[in-house]
Chain A
Amino acid sequence: MKIAVLGAGHVGPVIARLALAAGYPVAIAGSGDPSRIEMIIEFLAPGAKPLTASDAVADAGLVVLAIPWHRFGTLEPGMFAGKVVVDAMNHWPPASAPLGTSEEVARRLAGARVVKSLNHVAYQDMEPANGRAVGLAGDDPAAVDLVASFLERIGFDPVPVGPLAAGRLLEPGSPLFGVAAARPEIEKLAKEQS
Chain B
Amino acid sequence: MTTFGLDTFGDVTHDAEGRPLTHAQTIRDLVEQGVLADQAGLDFFGIGEHHTPDMPLSAADVVLAAIAARTSAIHLGSAVTVLSSDDPVRVFQRFSTLNAVSDGRAEIILGRGSSVDSFPLFGYDLADYEDLFEEKTHLFAELLKGGPVTWQGKTRASLHEQDVVPFTEPFPTWIGVGGSPQSVVRAASYGFSLMLAIIGGHPGRFAPFSELYKHALEKFGRDPLPIGIHSPGHVAPTDEQAREEFWPHYLDVISRLGKTRGFATPTPESYAHEVGPHGALFVGSPETVATKMARTMKTLGASRFDLKYGIGGLSHGSLMRTIELYGTEVVPRVRELLA
- The residues of A with any CB-CB pair to B shorter than 8 Å are 8-10, 13, 39-40, 42-44, 68, 70, 90, 92-94, 122-125, 127, 172, 177-180
* Contact between B212 and A43, CB atoms less than 8 A apart: yes
Cβ of B130: which chain A residues have Cβ within 8 Å of it?
Answer: 68
Chain B residues in 8 Å Cβ range of A123: 179
Interface mask (B175-199 → A, CB under 8 Å = 1, otherwise 0):
0001111101100000000000000
Residue of B nearest to A11 (CB): B179
Check A93–B181 contact: CB distance below 8 A. Answer: no
Given contacts A40-B212, A43-B215, A70-B127, contact A124 B262 (CB under 8 A): no
Give the contacting residue for A8; candidates B181, B260, B261; CB below 8 A. B181
Report which of A9, A92, A172, A178 forms a contact with B181, defined as CB distance below 8 A: A9
Q: Which residues of B contact A125 (CB under 8 A)?
A: 201
Q: Give the CA-CA distance A180 to B270 in the complex, in Å.
A: 9
Check A44–B260 contact: CB distance below 8 A. no
- Rounded to whole angstroms, the CA-CA distance of A18 and B209 in the bound complex is 17
Given A39-B212, A124-B202, A179-B265, are A92 and B126 also a contact pair (CB < 8 Å)?
A: yes
What distance in Å separates the Cβ of B246 from its nearest Cβ neighbour in chain A?
20
Nearest neighbor of B273 in chain A, beta-carbon distance: A180
Contact string, B195-223, partner A, CB cutoff 8 A, digits 1/0? 00000111001001101100110010000
- 21 A-B pairs with CB atoms under 8 Å apart are A9-B180, A13-B181, A39-B212, A40-B181, A42-B215, A43-B181, A44-B208, A44-B209, A44-B212, A70-B127, A93-B260, A94-B262, A122-B264, A124-B200, A124-B202, A125-B201, A177-B262, A178-B263, A178-B264, A179-B264, A179-B267
Q: How far is the CA of A92 from the CA of B126 in the complex (A)?
A: 9
Q: Are A40 and B205 closer than 8 Å at their CB atoms? A: no
**Is B116 interfacial (CB 8 A cutoff)?**
yes
Whether B258 sits at the interface, judged by CB under 8 Å, is: yes
* Interchain nearest-CB distance for B253 vs A (Å): 15
- Contact flag A172-B205 (CB < 8 Å), given A8-B181, A93-B126, A123-B179: no
Residues of B within 8 A of A (CB): 116, 126-127, 130, 178-182, 184-185, 200-202, 205, 208-209, 211-212, 215-216, 219, 258-265, 267, 270
Of B179, B182, B262, B267, the residue contacting A172 (CB under 8 A) is: B262
Q: Which residues of B contact A39 (CB under 8 A)?
A: 185, 212, 215-216, 219
B125 (CB) vs chain A CBs: closest residue: A70
- A40, A42, A92, A177: the one within 8 Å of B264 (CB): A177
Among residues of A, the one whose C-beta sits closest to the C-beta of B116 is A93
B201 partner residues in chain A, CB cutoff 8 A = 122, 124-125
Is the pair A43, B208 in contact by a Cβ cutoff of 8 Å? yes
Smallest CB-CB separation from A121: which chain B residue? Answer: B264
- Min Cβ gap A34→B in Å is 14
Measured CA separation A70–B209 after assembly (Å): 25
CB <8 Å contact, A44 and B181: yes
A94 to B258, CA, bound (A): 10
Shortest 7 CB-CB distances between A and B: which pairs? A124-B201, A178-B264, A70-B127, A43-B212, A10-B179, A40-B181, A179-B264
Taking the nearest CB of chain B, how far is it from the CB of A121, in angstroms? 10
In the bound assembly, the distance between CA atoms of A90 and B262 in angstroms comes to 9
Q: Chain B: which residue is nearest A45 at the CB level? A: B208
Residue of A nearest to B120 (CB): A93
Measured CB to CB, the closest approach of chain B to A138, in angstroms, equals: 22
Which chain B residues border A9 with CB–CB below 8 Å? 179-182
Set of chain A residues within 8 Å of B205, measured between Cβ atoms: 124, 127
Rounded to whole Å, the gap between the CB of B11 and the closest CB of chain A is 21
Q: Known contacts A40-B182, A70-B127; can you find 8 more A-B pairs with CB under 8 A?
A: A9-B181, A10-B179, A40-B185, A44-B212, A93-B126, A178-B263, A179-B267, A180-B264
CA A70 to CA B190, docked complex, whole Å: 27
> Is B180 touching A10 in the complex (CB atoms < 8 A)?
yes
Instruction: Report how far A9 CA is from B178 CA in the complex, Å.
Output: 11
**CB-CB < 8 A to B219: which residues of A?**
39
Measured between beta carbons, the chain A residues less than 8 angstroms from B265 are 178-179
CB distance from A174 to the nearest CB of B (A): 11
